Amino acid sequence: MTTITISRDFGSEGDNVARRVAEDLGYHFVDKEIIGDLLGNYGFVEFDKEYDSLMGFWAKFDAQRDKRRDNMVEMLNRVLEALAVHGNTVILGRSGFSVLAGYADAFHVRLQEPFPVRVRRIMKNSNLTHVEASLICEDGDKIRADFVRDFYGISWDAAHAFDLVINLEKIVPDQAVGYITSAIKAYELVSKKGKPTSGMLEVDPVLTRAVNTVLGCTIDHGELAPDYLVHA
């Protein structure tokens, strides 16, 4: 079982590509809503709102808030690990590539597009001016870069952190989906013997049950069987 993490530039077509990869492979698609549901089970209902706030929860220093923030990130890490243990998932964003770095059964993809291309898309989709779209795109990039740097000590766009990097300006989404699915199918045939895998991780049983519920799995003779592919 393989876990695919997909990191993408803000405003790119990465979300669409990630969904299509999950559909083509028959994997579970995991985005911020699903991760938010899992975190909400543990009381972290504000994670998405705070993550998307440029000068909010993450940027301001306060001893109590700082501890809460660290607890939230620790819980996010545990959720991502539980999803990897489940396997056959495509995890969109949320620093999955960093949390699951080093595991042989995790494959990390980076989808990027030039800033002007993304700005034009935001302008068209949201009916904004060039200045407005540029500011939104800049803020989106900064939030992601700061989060990964501050909590995982790595550059968000460091090529060495990924197994496959695709420029969506030159490689259209159809081709990108094909490249990724072909790479995964080939990689699943490669022996992982002697290498660390996510199966070595210890996951809290309560969190395991929560993941199974959110991903629509049932217990059948002691085995987990996917009921359906989640679209969120």
Give residues with Cβ within 8 angstroms of 119, minimum separation 6.
Answer: 11, 130, 133, 134, 137
Residue 175 placed within a domain:
yes
Portion of the chain with pLDDT greater than 90, in percent? 55
The whole-angstrom separation of Cα 108 and Cα 102 is 10
The tokens of 122 are what? 């935001």
CATH of the domain at 85: 3.40.50.300
pTM recorded for the entire structure: 0.83
Residue 125 placed within a domain:
no
Number of domains observed in the structure of the chain: 1
Chain-centroid distance, C-alpha 162 = 13
Using the 8-state DSSP alphabet, how is residue 65 labeled?
Answer: H
DSSP reduced 3-state for 178: helix
Please report which confidence band the pLDDT of residue 57 belongs to, taking 50, 70 and 90 as the band edges: very low
Per-residue pLDDT of 182-232, as tens digits, reads 999 999 999 988 999 998 998 888 889 889 988 886 333 233 333 333 333
The whole-angstrom separation of Cα 49 and Cα 87 is 27
The whole-angstrom separation of Cα 204 and Cα 145 is 30
The whole-angstrom separation of Cα 128 and Cα 133 is 6
The whole-angstrom separation of Cα 11 and Cα 140 is 8
Residue 129 placed within a domain:
no
Burial class (CB in 10 A: 0-12, 13-18, 19+), 114: middle
DSSP reduced 3-state for 30: strand
Per-residue pLDDT of 154-192, as tens digits, reads 887 788 999 999 999 999 999 999 999 999 999 999 998
Residue 135 placed within a domain:
no
Smallest Cα–Cα separation from 232: which of 53, 59, 43, 37? 37
- The residue assigned the tokens 């991903």 is 215
Per-residue pLDDT of 74-115, as tens digits, reads 989 999 999 999 999 999 998 899 999 999 999 999 999 999
The whole-angstrom separation of Cα 162 and Cα 156 is 10
Smallest Cα–Cα separation from 6: which of 179, 149, 143, 142? 179
Q: Render 6-23 in DSSP notation, one character per residue.
A: EEE-TTSSHHHHHHHHHH
Residue 127 placed within a domain:
no
Task: Give me the domain span that covers residue 36.
Answer: 3-113+159-226
Residue 101 placed within a domain:
yes
Residue 107 placed within a domain:
yes
Residue 85 placed within a domain:
yes
How many Å from the N-terminal Cα to the C-terminal Cα in the chain? Answer: 22
